[in-house]
A and B are shown apart, each in its own frame.
Chain A
Amino acid sequence: MFDLVLSLGKLAIGVGTAIYEAATMSPEEQAAVKAWADSKADELVDVRAQFKAAGDAKEAETRKVIAEAKASEPTSSER
């Protein structure tokens, strides 16, 4: 119960703060928020490329490790 009250309190404070901030925002601040959002969207292009590269590299590495392990496994005739 206490947690719920605390959470609702935090939410109310968050809502109040956000409304106050947005209502009192100057044109310069609005422009800064737009620039920030645009830069975050642009960053995603690089993040996506890094994500793909990291995924591909890790898969290649794991397949190499598996291939090496397979090569060192005894064959059926050796067993």
Chain B
Amino acid sequence: MNPDNRHRLAWAATAFFVAAIACVLAGCNVMANFDKSRGLLAEATKGCYGSMTAINIERQDAIQADVRAHKISGDSATAELDSWLVTYKQGATVCKAGDELAQTAKNARPIIEAAVDKKKQVGDWIARIGAFVATIPASLARLGITGGP
């Protein structure tokens, strides 16, 4: 995920979730807001998986090109690949966390809809989802994962 797109995603997520929380507080349809939030979470998670796949291909293509051109030895290439795969798998856990949150939110929907304190629960969920989406780019950047779409 390049810095421009990271910035756009974080900004869009913040704007949307501020709007959603304001909407819940203002008394508009809470479940529709909950649904929009979890839909956006699923989209962001899809983007996370897509970015990780693109970055993984980019990194491994570079390793392949170097070893083919004999710029690095086979052993160095293996070490480089193994080192990248550790980072890649850590990045993948960020995407998987979004995936799990999206599935949990989907499964929790009927319970939330039937709850007495539905408005509070939806507010909590939106805040939780919003916080997660807004931190995806930073989590990947902390792992040193840059580049890609």
Q: Give the B-binding residues of A (Cβ under 8 A).
A: 7, 10-11, 14-15, 17-19, 22-23, 25, 29-30, 33-34, 36-38, 40-41, 43-44, 47-48, 50-51, 54-55, 58-59, 61-63, 65-67, 69-70, 73
Contact = CB atoms under 8 A, between A and B. Distances in A.
Contact of A19 (B15, B19, B57, B77): B19
B106 interface: yes
Given A30-B31, A69-B70, A14 B16 contact: yes
Given A10-B15, A14-B19, A22-B23, A34 B31 contact: yes
Given A19-B28, A23-B26, A44 B102 contact: yes
A19 B16 CA distance: 11
B6 interface: no
Contact of A40 (B20, B39, B75, B78): B39
Interface of B: 11, 15-16, 18-20, 22-23, 26-29, 31-33, 35-36, 38-39, 42-43, 45-46, 49, 52-53, 56-57, 60, 63-64, 67-68, 70, 73-75, 77-78, 81, 85, 88, 92, 95-96, 99, 102-103, 105-106, 109
Contact of A30 (B32, B53, B56): B32
Contacts of B103: 41, 44
Given A66-B77, A66-B81, A70-B74, A59 B60 contact: yes
Q: Which of A30, A40, A58, A63 has the most C-beta atoms of chain B within 10 angstroms of its own C-beta?
A: A40
